[in-house]
Amino acid sequence: MNTELPTPTLTFFADLQVQVGPPQALGGTPQGQRRLIPITGGSVQGNGWTARVLPGGADFQLIASDTLAHLDARYMLETDGGDMIYVTNRALRSGPAEAMAQLARGEPVDPALIYFRCAPRFETASPSLGWISQRLFVGTGQRHPQQVVMRFFELN
């Protein structure tokens, strides 16, 4: 029996610039503060391919504390070849209370102050892209006042 397990490596998959609209706040619930952030568009640059982020998605946020937010974004991509990709991206964003409050108010924050990591999942009907539904991906992100910038990696 082989007891050596492979150490995972990362391969660049894509850079995303996701445009977002003003937050819609539900307010405090027993689980925390609930917010919905509309996704209004954006662009994707992969290794040899591009796509656009279609409007109509949203990031469903649970602000668990003044230093922690759980994010659950769902949106669609359309590749330059016309293929559609459904994205479910769960993320964790944490940082000092004041920096997190600035983000919530839509103010710029030094990205070095914020831990923003994500685990995107992809679904597609495209035969040529079907492999992305059979892999795990991880990413990093930065929240800016009008957009979210992310870099996704395939976990090998």
Residue 118 covered by a domain: yes
Sign of CA dihedral 81, 154, 16, 71: positive
* In a domain? residue 5: no
Asked whether residue 133 is domain-assigned, the answer is yes
Share of the chain above pLDDT 70, in %: 99
Q: Which pLDDT does position 11 carry in this prediction?
A: 97
- Kindly state whether residue 87 falls inside one of the protein's structural domains: yes
Question: In the prediction, which pLDDT does 1 show?
Answer: 67
Q: Is residue 3 part of a domain?
A: no
1, 7, 48, 135, 137 from 4: Cα distances, Å: 9, 9, 34, 21, 23
For residues 51-73, average pLDDT: 97
As a whole number, mean pLDDT of residues 105-112 equals 91
Of 89, 40, 80, 83, nearest to 60 by C-alpha is 89
76 domain-assigned = yes
More confident residue, 106 or 84: 84
Evaluate whether residue 2 is within a structural domain: no
Q: What's the confidence (pLDDT) of residue 125? A: 96
- Would you place residue 104 in the very low, low, confident or very high pLDDT band (cuts 50, 70, 90)? confident
Task: Look at residue 103 and tell me whether its pLDDT is greater than 70.
Answer: yes
Mean pLDDT, all residues of the chain: 95
**129 phi/psi in degrees, rounded to 5:** -105, 5
Confidence at 97, pLDDT banded by 50, 70, 90: very high
pLDDT exceeds cutoff 80 at 81: yes
Measured distance CA(21)–CA(37) in Å, rounded: 6
- Asked whether residue 4 is assigned to any structural domain, the reply reads no
Given a cut of 70, is residue 119 above it in pLDDT? yes
Largest CA distance in the chain: 55
Number of domains in the chain: 1
Provide the CATH number for the domain around residue 114: 2.40.160.20
Q: Token pair of 127, please?
A: 């035969």
C-beta separation of 35 from 23 below 8 A: yes
Mean pLDDT of 127-145: 95
**Mean of the pLDDT values across residues 135-149?**
95
Report yes or no: 42 and 16 within 8 Å, Cβ to Cβ. Answer: yes
Q: How far apart are CA 145 and CA 147, in angstroms?
A: 6
State which residues form the domain around 55. 10-155
